[in-house]
Amino acid sequence: MTTERSRVAVVVNGNARSVTNDVISTLDQILAGGDLFVSRHIDEAKDIAHALVEGGYGTVLTGGGDGTFTVMVTEVVKAAHARGAPTPRFGLLKLGTGNALAWVVGASPGVAGVRADIEHLRADQGASREIRLVSIEGYLAPFAGLGADAEVLRDYNETKRALEKTPLRKVAAGLVGYAVAATTRSVPGFLAKKMPHVRVTVEAGEAFEVDAGGQPRRVAGPGEVLFDGPTRIAALSTIPYVGFGFRLFPYTYLRPDLMQLRVSTMGPVEFLKHLPEIWAGSYKNPGSTRDFLVGSVRIDTEPATALQIGGDAHGDRTSIVASVSAEPVRLVDFYARTRT
């Protein structure tokens, strides 16, 4: 018999390119009535979160990308704490553009894959894994960053809007759109301007730097400056990926209770020359890239620099404070199917 805590809810971003009317209709057919929630605007997230907590759902799956996951997890955790209710576990359906978390939990691609994932959970609650998130500006996100990653995202969004008015609109949202944005906007921009000056200060706990052997060593404590200098990127994550299988944060496994901070002065030439190794997370060059494991940091930048949270652009900032979440969340682990 199905209990409330075993019920599965799906929340999809109705504005995501891959969340078509056919996809919504298919999801509606798979799920019991009332278990599908379609969000058309971020302002709807809070009401949906309260409905999920009040409904006692045991599992909440999001579809529409890492940004949709970030918004819904943030609001559901807040709603659960406000009611003193259990926090459901979360999962991600591969229906967005980047889908970094899909690589972490093994979500299946395509409508058929999404159907299989949902039906698997409804028939068998499946395995879970705990993960901490990056707490920043009121959000709980798998990753966030200042600098080049956020600038590429901003350029991609502008490029996508431009391409949607052309015959290339079918490939505007995706890796092709990112490639066009990078080559026509981001790379020329990086070559034309100076890197921002960034200072990273430890707010709480100890900070570790990953050495040449891939091992963490303590380098700073509360109030101490961890990094001070020009850099193209200062990004944080609790998962290895940032979308499309790009393993930008290969050391998150070393300390699951901390975030990985990557600062890098790497330029376009070095990036393109070593792209396969960089993409796989195996490239090392301490002269251009340094990796740290931190619990809470303040990042100041001059001038104001682009910020992304969970793959969504959030304007420019001169300062942010980010911490690893106080509590982990539980994630559906679809990979467990292949291990049984």
Give the tens place of pLDDT for each residue, 278-290. Answer: 989 999 999 999 9
Strand (E) positions, 73-213?
A: 89-93, 128-131, 134-136, 139-141, 143-147, 197-204, 207-210
Q: What is the CATH number of the domain that holds 19?
A: 3.40.50.10330
Average pLDDT over residues 191-214: 92
Shared domain check, 307 and 195: yes
Cα dihedral angle (171, 173, 176, 179), rounded to 10 degrees? Answer: 150
Residues 159 and 263 in one domain: yes
Q: 148 with 293, same domain?
A: yes
Same domain, 186 and 301: yes
The mean pLDDT value of the chain amounts to: 87
Same domain, 102 and 123: yes
pLDDT digits (tens, 9 = 90+) for 139-164: 999 999 999 888 877 777 777 667 76
Q: Are 26 and 93 in contact (CB under 8 A)?
A: no
Q: Is the distance from CB of 97 to CB of 310 less than 8 angstroms?
A: no
Please report which confidence band the pLDDT of residue 337 belongs to, taking 50, 70 and 90 as the band edges. Answer: low
Provide the CATH number for the domain around residue 206. Answer: 2.60.200.40
Please tell me the total number of residues recorded for the chain in this structure: 340
The yes-or-no verdict on residue 2 having pLDDT over 50 is no
Both tokens of residue 267?
A: 């330029």
Please indicate, yes or no, whether residues 269 and 147 belong to a single structural domain of this protein. yes
Please determine, for residue 307, whether its predicted confidence score (pLDDT) is greater than 50.
yes
* pLDDT score of 139: 98
Residue 1, pLDDT > 50, answer: no
Strand partners, 315: none
Are residue 177 and residue 281 in the same domain, yes or no?
yes
Q: How far is CA 105 from the centre of its chain?
A: 13
The predicted pLDDT at position 190 comes to: 59
Q: What is the pLDDT of residue 15?
A: 75
Residue 61 shares a structural domain with residue 115: yes
Tell me the C-alpha distance between 22 and 297, whole Å. 44
Angle between helices 21-30 and 110-123 (to 10 degrees): 20
CB atoms within 10 A of CB 294: 25
Do residues 65 and 157 lie in contact, with contact meaning Cβ atoms separated by under 8 Å?
no
168 and 89 co-located in one domain: no
Do 211 and 103 lie in a common domain? no
Q: Which two tokens stand for residue 332?
A: 């559906």
b/e code 39-57 from CB counts within 10 Å (16+ = b): beeeebbeebbbebbeeeb
pLDDT tens string 78-110: 999 999 999 999 999 988 666 888 889 889 888
Residue-range definition of the domain harbouring residue 123:
4-131+329-339
In 3D, which of 76, 72, 95, 96 has the Cα closest to residue 85? 76
Strand order from edge to edge, sheet including 89-93: 36-39, 8-13, 59-63, 89-93, 329-332, 128-131
Other CB atoms within a 10 A radius of the CB of residue 303 amount to 10
Provide the pLDDT for residue 335.
Answer: 85
Contacts of 33 (CB under 8 A, 6+ apart): none
Same domain for 218 and 102, yes or no, is no
Q: Which residues sit opposite 81 in a β-bridge?
A: none
Q: What mean pLDDT do residues 116-123 have? A: 82
Pair 242, 146 in one domain: yes
Number of domains present in the structure of the chain: 2
